[in-house]
Amino acid sequence: MDLSAINPILLIAAMIAAATPILLAAIGELVVERAGVLNLGVEGMMITGAVCGFIIAVNTGSPTVGFIAAAVGGAVLSLLFAFLTQVALANQVASGLALTLFGLGLSSLMGQSYVGIKPPRAEATPLGPLAEIPIIGPILFGHDLMVYLGLGIVAATWAVLKFTRMGLVLRAVGENHDAAHALGYKVKRIRTLAILFGGACAGLGGAYISLIRVPQWTEGMTAGVGWIALALVVFASWKPWRVLLGAYLFGGITQLQLNLQGAGVAIPVEYLAMSPYIVTIIVLVILSADKSRAPGSLGRTFHASG
């Protein structure tokens, strides 16, 4: 065992990068679920975002444009889900699963001629002297823009849900869509907007994997991150800061266990490999011991006649 091989600064920086795709996808899904819609298509929207972002970034040479395209791609795919569940009143679980399968297939089709191509590099955010601060600099200020954007989205989501009228309306729609409808709120419109937001966030998360974390395009490259994000929303009891905590815990322990393996720690690898799942679940379950519960109308189809 040689723990000195682990560089804590690099480790924490890697943790933050590993957590970002999960965080982005989960915060988007959180908003969707707070509006009372269960979209199981996160994985499909992520991989679509990953391939859209990759294609556009390669063709324009700009990762930023790629990320915008990823958000648009994810949102467009989620529009399909919105149409199925809000207009055609289809079952949300089935539509969501279909969206994942469709997204996986569509992305491999779109990405066929992009296998093995290198995307343009995303530069670290120029934070000037901040990045020069010893220890804190490389941990906190040496990242790409998406890391900060992810944190910003979490903070904004929390503030909007908690303090604004818009957030209150969104939560009302999620808690009791009939009551919200009786008060004159456009349930379907609000839900569609929430679904679009969720799609855009998932797309950004996917593009973070294809443009920054891996960076390349391979079929099926999100490899289940979308499902982890979905689970995270539940374990975080639909609260933004807990999503952040859960994503960092999960990403962090994933990185930590790789580092421990590399350093030759004498813990059986199987335990290390399952540790991110277990620790994240335990911590979030303990946290959710308070009386938080799922939005009242989650997963239920709304029809104005009802």
Partner 1 sequence: MKLTTLLASAALALGLAGGAMAQDKTKVGFVYVGPVGDGGWTYEHDQGRLAVEAEFGDQVETVFVENVAEGPDSERVMTQMALDGADLIFTTSFGYMDPTNNVAAKFPDVKFEHATGYKRLHPNVSTYSARFYEGRAIQGHIAGNMTKSNIIGYIGSFPIPEVIRGINSAYVHAKKVNPDVEFKIIWVYTWFDPAKEADAAKTLIDQGADVVLQHTDSTAPQAAAQEAGGVVTFGQASDMGQYAPFPRVSSIIDDWAPYYIARTRAVMEGTWESQDTWDGIGAGMVGIGEITDAVPADVREEALALKAALADGSYHAFTGPLNKQDGSPFLADGETADDGTLAGMNFYVEGIEGDIPQ
Site for partner 1 in 191-210 (CB under 8 A): 209
Give 11-46 as a DSSP string. HHHHHHHHHHHHHHHHHHHHHHHHTT---TTHHHHH
b/e burial code for range 136-154 (CB count within 10 A of at least 16 → b): eebbbbbbbbbbebbbebb
Q: Which stretch binds partner 1 (CB under 8 A): 127-135, 140-148, 168-176, 217-225?
A: 217-225
DSSP 84: I
Site for partner 1 in 58-97 (CB under 8 A): none
Give 111-124 as a DSSP string. TGGGTTPPPPPPPP
Q: Which is nearer to partner 1, 21 or 36 (CB)?
A: 21
**20 scored as a contact of partner 1 (CB under 8 A):** no
Q: Which stretch binds partner 1 (CB under 8 A): 6-14, 56-64, 162-170, 228-236?
A: 6-14
Compute the distance between CA of residue 212 and CA of residue 170 in angstroms, rounded to an integer.
33
Site string for partner 1, 246-285 (x = CB under 8 A): --------xx--xx-xxxx-x-xxx--x------------
Q: Which stretch binds partner 1 (CB under 8 A): 106-114, 147-155, 171-179, 191-199?
A: 106-114
Site string for partner 1, 26-55 (x = CB under 8 A): ------------------------------
Selection from 238, 285, 279 nearest residue 255 by Cα: 279
Cα 19 to chain center, whole Å? 9
C-beta of 106: minimal distance to partner 1 in Å? 14
DSSP 303: -
Tokens of 158: 């929390």
Q: Which stretch binds partner 1 (CB under 8 A): 52-60, 109-117, 164-172, 238-246?
A: 109-117
C-beta of 18: minimal distance to partner 1 in Å? 6
Is the distance from CB of 242 to CB of 157 less than 8 angstroms?
no
**115 scored as a contact of partner 1 (CB under 8 A):** yes
Sequence-distant (≥ 6) Cβ neighbours of residue 164 within 8 angstroms: none
Binding residues for partner 1, rule: CB under 8 A, are 5-7, 10-11, 14, 18, 21, 108, 111-112, 115-118, 121, 209, 213-216, 218-223, 225, 254-255, 258-259, 261-264, 266, 268-270, 273
